Structure 1
Amino acid sequence: MSHVIVVGAGQAGASLVARLRAKGFDGRITLIGEEPFPPYQRPPLSKAYLLGEMERERLYLRPESYYAENDIDLRLGAPVTEIDADAQTVTVAGETLGYDDLVFATGSEPRRLPAAIGGDLDGVLLVRGLRDVDAMGPRFARGARVLIVGGGYIGLEAAAVAAKRGLSVTLVEMAERILQRVAAPETSAYFRALHTAHGVDIREGVGLDHLTGTDGAVTGAVLTDGSSLELDFVLVGVGILPHTALAQAAGVTIENGIKTDAHGRTSVANIWAAGDCASFPWRGQQLRLESVGNAIDQAECVADNILGAECAYDAKPWFWSDQYDVKLQIAGLSTGYDRIVVREGDGDTVSHWYFSGETLLAIDAMNDPRSYMVGKRLIEAGKSPSPEAVRDTSTDLKALLKA
């Protein structure tokens, strides 16, 4: 009987095993996760769950009973210790399992602050897993002083939760502006104004020099501009790295993550990869996407290919972020843009359209689901409306799809 082992019980791993069963695969499936929880959603961790608006069980992608009912051997709290690609075996919790196909869905891990600047002090926290958020929850008490290091989406989402809970929030971003790596200056300005209006002290072009502590616990920070802060805790959101150590040890080629071909195959026979950890060919580059949509779509494509479909993965990038009462929806990838077109809507509705010349690359839509859906469909269809038509609020958005 054929045996598929999936290492990593996150969104990609869970989507892959469900797809195998839905497509009629009747062999053995083993899903291995390091955490003691069944596969769960990560995006709500730094939003609704941290705010106390979502129960833990609602985070789970499927009821735990689903796996037994579908004859999926779910092994939790069980880190893999060795992979022998020649023998096609995986060692987990002291047991060696043989596989016919192995999938890395190991996700990513957050960058940590160096111990040399106080990164190992108690009260220096990461926003990544369920245990991380459970540990930080009690610290979110009204009036507590928190420093957030990093002005990307994770840092800004945590800042929004902290501000809503009544904490004193300072956010530092070493780059010239928040969201510099992923968004246009117009989108950065929008969210800077939003957070400032909610009392967040945003300091751009300023980094963390070092943390200070007493009895092993963080009590303050010294910033690169020489200023200092008294603190109760620190949240670190300075990006993530693909989890590639197991794949590398198994002899798999690493390039911006676990390198795969268009079908999800790695450089080693019978080994595949999907999700945050995997890079794949896309428009002349080896692209890696960190998003729920990619984790699901790529994992399902790999599952189909394990079953012999030979379908190439066609990425359709989309992302979202919730901050206060603003829902940001993003479609496409903005890399290489040279022009931003702003489309104003009613109230706080606005969208930013990224163009390279006359070609539409991406859209950021703030509380503007109509613009997002139209922009997403245009990008996926390879259509580019005229920038002037986008800016003109009298233009019927749906008409752009028919042009």
Structure 2
Amino acid sequence: MSAATGLHRLVVVGGSAAGLGVAEEVRRRGFTGDVVMVDGEPGLPYDRPPLSKQLLAGEWEIERLLLRPREQWDALGITHLPGTAAVWVDADASTVGLAGGGQLAYDALVIATGAAAVHPPSLGAGLHGVQVLRNLPDALRLREALGHGGRLVVVGAGFVGAEAAAVARGMNIAVTMVDPLPLPMVNVLGEDVAGMIASRHHGAGVDLRCGRGVVEVLAEDNRATGVVLDDGSVVEASTVLVAVGARPAVGWLAGSGVPLGSKERDGVEGVLCDARGRAAERIWAVGDVAAWLDPATDRYVRSEHRLAATEQGRAVGAALLGGEPAAPTLPYFWSDQYDLKLQSYGSTGRQMAFTVVEGSLAEGRFVGVYGHRDSEGRPHRIDGVLGNGMARALRTWRQAVLDRAPWPATTAVAVPTPTAAGSATAASDL
């Protein structure tokens, strides 16, 4: 099989879920050539979503985060290079440069370097007690800091910030969460759900400063002591978590000839790929770093969901060997905050229509659906679903998203009847 496709050595840069998906898929399809994974982090590849949830809370230890245990990893026959960064690509010579001066030739290169947390210099970059939360060392450092008590200021009320704030309150740490937007996670979930989340944080004792920005981090002896907000108020802090987003890790690709997107020109950052993940001759990209072309809209799209990373990896693994990928499933995410375990399938967003179809937001047990609006501001079909505490109902409405069901006429909606196959598939995913 490798000879038929001209593939003898596959190099994957990035020890991510997406990169692992590529490696596993080519092995599953019978590829017996070299698979080399260049991994900038030490140790075996691990899962990232639990970093701001179970690991930070001390409920899980590192071993439980591993994407595959050692014995399964060894069975894949991958040459794993942990703690080794890729620093350049020569696309013409089909070669990757490694930190320290080494080089790797490839027949196919898959870029799976993910994204790096944004930490503006104005937000105390370099000060002790100020950090981001993106990788395992970040999470362990924050967990240790929270173990000493004190006061935590979270700058940014998105997924990472809101989840970390909830964990800290569970440890009885005083928390202030600051965000320029009016509500936590509002851009992703819309005002209705974001309002419910804000109420949960208020109820748990979080000092929520929405509609405010941080203009300065105060410090003594190079250690953070607090932040100054744009209204002039000062909030004391022993630890400051900067959770203002992440950008694709593409700095090492400068001058490589690999096509890179920009917000201004392409509407998105990352490695620009066709609809199957191919960026250039012999070069592919998957996961958070990749911007795949959406044939339906003719736009490049980055899908930063955990399930999408694995599916993209499998799709590229299939394409490398001339095969057809499995049909993609719906985008999926979850967020744990206090007693909430929010789960979502499909598309959600502040600009979309939203309505609760079962339960109620006030009670915290609900299922709500999202729909893209037309030029007149009206939704016509169900494009996404979000729920908490109603797993069976969520599975049913997930199928409505798959079926592109029409938008409910009112909030008092009869539950759609899923197909047998759809119901079984949905149940297996929860």
TM-score class, shorter-chain normalisation, is: over 0.9
1:63 is aligned to 69
Show the counterpart of 1:319: 333
Deviations along 1:180-239, one digit per CA (max 9) or x if unpaired, are 221110011110011111111111100101011010000111111111011101011111
Specify the alignment match of 1:244 in structure 2: 250
Deviation at 1:343, TM superposition (A): 2.8
Q: Which position in structure 2 is the counterpart of 1:228? A: 234
2:344 matches 1:330: yes
State the SS of the aligned residue for 1:6: strand
How far is 1:368 from its partner?
Answer: 2.4
Q: Give, in angstroms, the shift of residue 291 of structure 1.
A: 1.1
Q: C-alpha displacement at 1:334, in angstroms? A: 2.9
Instruction: Note the C-alpha offset of 1:400.
Output: 9.6
Whole-Å separation in 2 of the counterparts to 1:138 and 1:97: 38
Deviations 1:63-118, CA, capped at 9 Å, x for gaps: 2343333221001000012221111111224322211000000100111032x453
1:16 aligns with one of 22, 25, 28: 22
TM-score for both structures, normalised by structure 2: 0.87
Report the Cα distance in structure 1 between the residues aligned to 2:293 and 2:393, rounded to whole angstroms: 29
C-alpha spacing 1:86/1:122, structure 2 compared with 1 (3 Å)? same
Query: Is this contact kept in 1: 2:187–2:350, CA < 8 A?
Result: no
Instruction: Pick from 281, 285, 291 the counterpart of residue 279 of structure 1.
Output: 291
2:106 corresponds to? 99
Letter in 2 for 1:281: L
1:155 alignment partner, SS class = helix
Q: Shift in Å at residue 254 of structure 1?
A: 1.4
TM-score of the pair, normalised by structure 1: 0.93
Gaps of 5+ in 2: 3-7, 262-267, 374-378, 423-430
Quick one: which amino acid aligns to residue 292 of structure 1?
Answer: R
Distance in 1, matches of 2:48 and 2:336, equals 13
Correspondence 1:258 to 2:271: yes
Matched, 1:43 2:49: yes
Say whether 1:353 aligns with 2:360. Answer: no
**Aligned equivalents of 2:93, 2:329: Cα separation in 1:** 33
CA distance in 2, matches of 1:335, 1:229: 31
Counterpart residue number, 1:365: 387
Equivalent of 2:159 in 153, 157, 160: 153
Letter in 2 for 1:286: Y
Q: Distance in 2 between matches of 1:330 and 1:170?
A: 27
Query: Cα 1:214–1:33, aligned 2, differ >3 Å: closer, same or farther?
Result: same
Residues 197 and 371 of structure 1: CA distance in aligned 2, closer, same or farther (over 3 Å):
same
SS in structure 2 opposite 1:48?
Answer: coil
Q: 1:74 aligns with which of 68, 74, 80?
A: 80
Match of 2:388, as an amino acid? Answer: M
Give the aligned partner of residue 398 of structure 1: 417
Residue pair 2:91, 2:258 contacting (<8 A) in 1 also: no
Alignment equivalent of 1:197, drawn from 199, 203, 214:
203
- AA paired with 1:348? G
Q: Match of 1:292?
A: 306
What is residue 270 of structure 1 aligned with on the other side? 282
- Worse-superposed segment, 83-92 or 295-304: 83-92
CA deviations over 1:125-157 (Å, ceiling 9, x no partner): 111100111112221137410100001111000
SS in 1 for 2:55: helix
Q: CA deviation at 1:315?
A: 6.2
Shift in Å, 1:380: 2.2
Closer/same/farther in 2, CA of residues 312 and 44 from structure 1, 3 Å limit: closer
Whole-Å separation in 2 of the counterparts to 1:108 and 1:205: 26
What is the CA-CA distance between 1:316 and the residue it aligns to? 2.5
Aligned-residue sequence identity (percent) comes to 33
Contact in 1 for aligned 2:132/2:243 (Cα 8 Å):
yes
Specify whether residues 211 and 305 from structure 1 end up closer, same or farther in structure 2 by C-alpha distance, changes over 3 A only.
same
Classify 1:367/1:88 alpha carbon distance in 2 versus 1 (closer, same or farther; 3 Å): same
